[in-house]
Amino acid sequence: MKNMTILFQDSLAAWHTPVFETVFRQEVQALDLALLPLQAALSQSSYVGETAIEPVVLQSSESADAILVKTGIFYGGIIAGSCCADDPTPVCEQTEYCELLCTISKTTAEVSFTLLADE
């Protein structure tokens, strides 16, 4: 994962409003996929695909200094070397899923993502 500061200022501003989940999902979808720990979560494929992700807010809460959002992520994964040399079909993606804990600082809007282990 690249070392880069991610800010979710719109999500922070939308906290405690009816549009929070929508705003949060839009900010997650706008991220470069390399900023999320998706590669580490692969279970059926070898590499993260390039298709858009689909985040789902599973639970949201807050502590004194942060907003905590448990998020399910549906995304595509590619199986490397699965096609024969003479196979004219395009590379097909497998659907992958993982759960992340997104922590949004209430003072800076800085975001961190933690991959949650399968339960």
Domain boundaries, the chain: 6-44+53-74+97-114
- In order along its 119 residues, the chain shows pLDDT tens digits of 446 789 999 999 999 999 999 999 999 999 999 999 999 999 988 899 988 999 999 999 999 999 999 999 999 999 866 555 555 555 678 899 999 999 999 999 999 999 998 65
Q: Does residue 40 sit in helix, strand or coil? A: helix
Largest CA distance in the chain: 59
- The β-bridge relationship of strands 47-48 and 54-62 is unpaired
Task: Check residue 88 and report its DSSP letter.
Answer: -
Dihedral pair phi/psi, residue 12, rounded to 5°: -60, -45
pTM of structure: 0.86
Cα–Cα distance for residue pair 64/72, rounded to 1 Å = 24
